[in-house]
């Protein structure tokens, strides 16, 4: 059995944290009004997110950790609504979805331009090729300021799942990226 490589420096700690397993999602939100472009002209936005987990099942609640500098964070803080889309690892376009929503800013690019999506009950994008989606309402009394991020706790108001497929994990995505897939 090999020994642990002990570290306390930030780079080493960051590498160690990659061993925490969790899913990879596209978090979507809108400003103000809903479907398509909202009344103030802003398009819906989305970003990749790996900081998500179920907190309780009765009532159904999840939590997400979102960087404060992101446009999606602004939209969620403004509306108190979001959709969490679980990426399907069997979707042949999964890597492209991660590139689109994870490697560019919604402040500079309309991430939904020429990208098919449906809208949920709150007008927030649902990715049609997702394994599952969760329409959520933030519970402000449980929101936690974490300096660089906000931890939003939310009720799951409506959800959808598909037969077949498997949720993509962040660890699996990272391994596939190193292999060039």
pLDDT of residue 41 exceeding 80: no
pLDDT band, very low/low/confident/very high, at 1 (cuts 50, 70, 90): confident
Within 37-155, where are the H helices?
71-79, 94-102
Number of H helices, E strands in the chain: 4, 10
**What is the pTM (predicted TM-score) of this model?**
0.87
Q: Which residue has 């490697």 as its token pair?
A: 103
User: Angle at the Cα of 47 (from 156 to 83), degrees rounded to 5?
Assistant: 20
Q: How does 32-53 read in b/e, with b if 16+ C-beta sit within 10 Å?
A: eebeeebeeebbbbbbbbbbbe
| Under 8 Å between Cβ of 154 and 137 | yes
Classify residue 167 by its DSSP letter.
B
Domains of the chain with CATH codes: 22-178 (2.30.110.10)
Nearest residue to 48 via CA among 18, 84, 77, 22: 84
Q: What is the per-residue pLDDT across 80-127, written as a single tens digit (0 to 9) for each? A: 999 999 999 999 999 999 999 999 999 999 999 999 999 999 999 999
Nearest residue to 176 via CA among 98, 104, 101, 103: 98
pLDDT of residue 37 exceeding 90: no
CA distances for 19 relative to 1, 13, 37, 44, 171, angstroms: 18, 10, 39, 32, 7
Extract the runs of DSSP E, i.e. beta strands, from 30-89.
Answer: 45-49, 52-57, 60-67, 81-86
Among 5-9, 37-41, 75-79, name the most confident range: 75-79
């Amino acid at each position: 059995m090999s020994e642990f490589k002990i570290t306390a420096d930030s780079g080493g700690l960051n590498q160690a944290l990659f061993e925490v397993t969790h899913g990879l999602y596209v978090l979507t939100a809108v400003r103000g009004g809903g479907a398509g472009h909202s009344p103030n002209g802003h398009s819906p936005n989305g970003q990749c997110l790996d900081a998500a987990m179920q907190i309780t099942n009765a009532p159904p609640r999840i939590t997400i950790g979102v960087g404060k500098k992101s446009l999606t964070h602004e939209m969620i803080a403004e509306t108190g609504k979001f959709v969490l889309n679980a990426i399907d690892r069997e979707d042949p376009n999964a890597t492209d979805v991660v590139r689109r929503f994870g490697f560019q800013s919604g402040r500079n690019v309309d991430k939904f331009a020429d990208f098919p999506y449906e809208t949920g009950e709150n007008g927030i994008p649902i990715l049609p090729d997702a394994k599952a989606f969760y329409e959520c309402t933030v519970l402000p009394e449980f929101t936690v300021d974490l300096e660089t991020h906000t931890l939003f706790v939310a009720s799951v108001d409506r959800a959808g799942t598909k037969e077949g497929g498997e949720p993509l994990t962040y660890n699996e995505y990272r391994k596939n990226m190193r292999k060039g897939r």
